[in-house]
Structure 1
Amino acid sequence: MTYCNPDEVEAGTAVPENGPSFNNFTVVVHAMKVVQPAEVTKEETIYLTNIDQMLVVPVESFFVYLPNSKKSSESVFWVLEDALAKVLVPYHFMAGRFEVNTEEGRLQVKCNRAGVGFVVASSEQTIEDLGDLKLMNPGFRKLVPSPPGDNVSLFDDFLLMVQVTRFRCGGFTVGFRMSHSLCDGTSSAQFFRSFCKLARGAPLTEFPDLDRTILKPRDPPAPEFNHPECFRSGGVIPNGAGTVDNIDIVAPQYITKHIPMSLMEIQTLKTIAMADGSIKRCSSFEVTIAHFWQARTRSLEFAPDELTNLLIAVDFRAKMHPPIQPTFCGNTIISAHVSALASEVAHNPLSYCVAKIQEAVARIDERYVRSALDWLQLHGGVPAIGSAKDMLVSAWWKFPFYEHDFGWGKPVHSGPPSGSTPQFALIVSNGTEDGGLLLLVSFQPHEMVKFERYLKDI
């Protein structure tokens, strides 16, 4: 493969821009390659836990790199392709495909070296032309790879795709599309870290533990708790959309924003939450989610007696005995479930919501995790998000995504390329060391106005 100079525009497919921040943004796709592990790898199947089975949905992210005056990016395509082939040796399952274990009626990964998608693209624009990277622009989706066809089945689709887009200025972006069932944020960060090390020519010092059988359910399953964080799916094999067909979480017209929360605002919220003496401690994580829950409930104007449900993604690695090691590659997240009447959320002091969240998170221990694995074995399950009153919040802000250097410096931006459904919110880093956060949220336009007003009314 001879990689194209970004000045060449006669090849590939140009897609017109429809985003709000800038005009005439085009990305030219020059090639889509299939990259296999650089060495012979073991042919095996990888067990997917009952939590993995709930997360058969692609997660998209992209990293933005400014031009480096001391190092041309002309070689970025072959450097990253070579590093990708090398990192797929320890991560060989990412080059596999989903298959059904017919005896157990569940998904697993077949490690068959089928390969990872690698997209070579360019743009006549500059990184500066992208505008404010914190503003969600639909055009950013052009910087992450698309599935290879309109009707690709779950079993033929890539588990991982990578797109490198070089800009006229010499800057570039690296976009990823990865099945969430492969790994959570902690495991993804380890993969990105290894990928970057190999691109810089450094040796690997950490290797993934691919054995997920430590999270198998008990035989026979013996759930100890109810699990309102999940809807029963009756053992339905995921359809690739991350949910079963009868659960619709797609909203009508909505907009997405990154809304900043400064360290001073977070500290003020902590002071407010503890002022009445009903709680003794309060973390940034807890108070940010509590404040978000109140602001969202008020802005959507639910009926006072409507029940609101909040799901909070919790990493349980450290809660197991012994703790699950950092090198474990898989999903170690489970949702803490919080519920309260809309009137209780909207009108009680902030400390009330913080306490509810603390109680829910405290319930996540080894007994609860084992119970959840058993419950899912009996009933199947999908996240319990069924209406506008339900909300799932995930925190990415501690993941070191801004540290991922492929050899041209650290990214100036990282995160998802576009908005999600209005029932899913992300808390992400603002890319600085000032202690501030960004809330990635989606609302209808008139709701967004009210939400921002309530959020900033501190």
Structure 2
Amino acid sequence: MAAEWLSFTVRRREAVLVAPAEPTPHEFKELADVDFQGTTRLQISGIWVIKEALSKALVFYYPFAGRIRGGVDGRRPVVECTGEGVLLAEADADIRLDQFGDALLPPIPCSEQLLQNVDGSEGLYDTPLLLIQVTRLRCGGFAMGVRLNHILSDAGGLLQLLKATAELAMGAPRPTLLPVWQRYLLQARDPPQVSYAHREYDEEEPVKFEDSVLRSFFLRREDVRALKSRLPGDMQKITSFDLLTACVWRCRIAALRLDPGQRVRAMAIVTGRGRCSAVVPPGYYGNSFAHPVALSTAGELCGNPLAYAVQLISKAKSEMTTEYLRSTADLIVVKGSATYTSSIGSMIVSDLRQLGLRELDFGWGDAVLFTPMHSDEVFHYYFHYTNTIGEEGVVVMLRLPAPAMERFAEEMESIMKDC
């Protein structure tokens, strides 16, 4: 079914607060310096959850049931663990999952109905830290939308809460992985020791695209393998992330038709989970990522073989170490904040494939799809997808001005034809 012809109606009940199922400590918890990166000062959208299991999970993850309080007398914000709860809205949609067809990819028609705002809930301070909408579909399935206050947690931390909720929904007495707060592990050192240049936070002229469009591109596994075959033999072990990001970066810059001498940046959101265990122990659910950056000029990026961009991405990603994460925390304190600039020559990539979100099972089976609903001019997302004929692959989701998006599609098609 073509996306432009798909429409449906959602009837939503009034949102309610879901509090922890048992009493929890009323206390103030300090956040880590890494929680104050520019990319965390927002609320992000995602998915899911079931009321009773969520209430039980909040006993373990009780800071989610609290509120962010603004800093007083020059002090930074803290989490007040009030036990008030998170917002949950139930809804019903007059549509079946199979009616979406390929329109299930962003931009999803009428997606705004799957996560409707609750008045007074969108601020960073003094508001619920999670807004969840569970929408029942006519086929018996359901869609779950989640908006997270990013200053408390990143996608990996949110996933821990959701996995705990799913386990409790399936009858487990407690989560397999217990939560760890310990934000002091990612506090700045005293004195701060900024040991990297952190060009990801260089100030550049911000841009707001006019008449921009959101679009998703599906690459089959066979397409990714064919793309990799174009690289030299000594690069055949590079990751699909490095390959995809290099490809998307080149196509994006070519589509924007930038001056050959203009500096361009590709930033990869890299988590410290699993690679920085000294400061990110198992169970840690705070923000634990950084944005190592690859730099080039538009002319060099588009004029060199694809392997050139792949090497830049791989090198940048390899910089993500415990020291890099500590240096990021130190930089935030030294500068007072660390905010990326939405410049025309910059892109940030978030790979959601490794989170295991499709395997979340609340008792109805694995999820069919996990996807962000929106993106800005800088953020690009990767996520798993299986098309309507059963082919598995990866979706690249991004936003560009309409004319540039057409050129981007042509660039991507040209690269794939050369494989």
The answer to whether TM tops 0.5 is yes
**Of residues 379, 397, 404 in structure 2, which corresponds to 1:440?**
397
SS in structure 2 at match of 1:302? coil
Q: Say which is worse superposed, 288-297 or 400-409, in terms of deviation.
A: 400-409
Structure-2 separation of matches of 1:271 and 1:332? 34
Structure-2 separation of matches of 1:142 and 1:83? 24
Structure-1 separation of matches of 2:341 and 2:231? 28
Does residue 10 of structure 2 align to residue 20 of structure 1? no
Change (3 A) 1:135 1:199: same
Q: Which amino acid counterpart does residue 284 of structure 1 have in structure 2? A: S
Change (3 A) 1:369 1:28: same
Structure-2 separation of matches of 1:397 and 1:349? 27
Give unpaired runs (5+ residues) of structure 1: 1-18, 64-78, 233-245
- Would you say the 8 A contact 2:332–2:338 is kept in 1? no
**Of residues 209, 214, 219 in structure 2, which corresponds to 1:251?**
209
SS in structure 2 at match of 1:88? helix
Report the structure, 1 or 2, having the larger helix content.
2
**Of residues 219, 233, 241 in structure 2, which corresponds to 1:261?**
219
Report what 1:414 is aligned to: 370
Q: Which amino acid counterpart does residue 11 of structure 2 have in structure 1? A: V
Give the superposition deviation at 1:422: 2.4
For residues 310-349 of structure 1, what are the structure 2 equivalents within 5 Å?
Answer: 310-320=266-276, 322=278, 324-349=280-305
Structure-1 separation of matches of 2:260 and 2:328? 31
Report what 2:72 is aligned to: 102
- Would you say the 8 A contact 2:41–2:124 is kept in 1? no
Change (3 A) 1:30 1:248: farther
In the alignment of these two chains, the number of paired residues is 407
**Of residues 28, 38, 42 in structure 2, which corresponds to 1:57?**
42
Give the superposition deviation at 1:61: 1.4
Give the superposition deviation at 1:82: 1.2
Report what 1:455 is aligned to: 412
**Of residues 86, 89, 96 in structure 1, which corresponds to 2:59?**
89
Structure-2 separation of matches of 1:49 and 1:268? 43
- Would you say the 8 A contact 1:254–1:444 is kept in 2? yes
For residues 374-453 of structure 1, what are the structure 2 equivalents within 5 Å?
Answer: 374-417=330-373, 419-431=374-386, 436-453=393-410
Structure-2 separation of matches of 1:454 and 1:331? 35
TM-score by length of 2: 0.90
- Would you say the 8 A contact 1:29–1:121 is kept in 2? yes
Give the superposition deviation at 1:104: 5.3
Cα RMSD after superposing both structures = 2.4
Give unpaired runs (5+ residues) of structure 2: none
Q: Say which is worse superposed, 295-304 or 408-417, in terms of deviation.
A: 408-417
Q: Which amino acid counterpart does residue 80 of structure 1 have in structure 2? A: I
- Would you say the 8 A contact 1:309–1:337 is kept in 2? yes
Does residue 2 of structure 2 align to residue 32 of structure 1? no
Q: Percent identity?
A: 27
Structure-2 separation of matches of 1:427 and 1:202? 31
Structure-1 separation of matches of 2:172 and 2:44? 27
Q: Which amino acid counterpart does residue 256 of structure 1 have in structure 2? A: L
Report what 1:226 is aligned to: 197
Give the superposition deviation at 1:147: 3.5
Structure-1 separation of matches of 2:33 and 2:187? 8
Structure-2 separation of matches of 1:104 and 1:247? 29
Q: Which amino acid counterpart does residue 89 of structure 2 have in structure 1? A: V
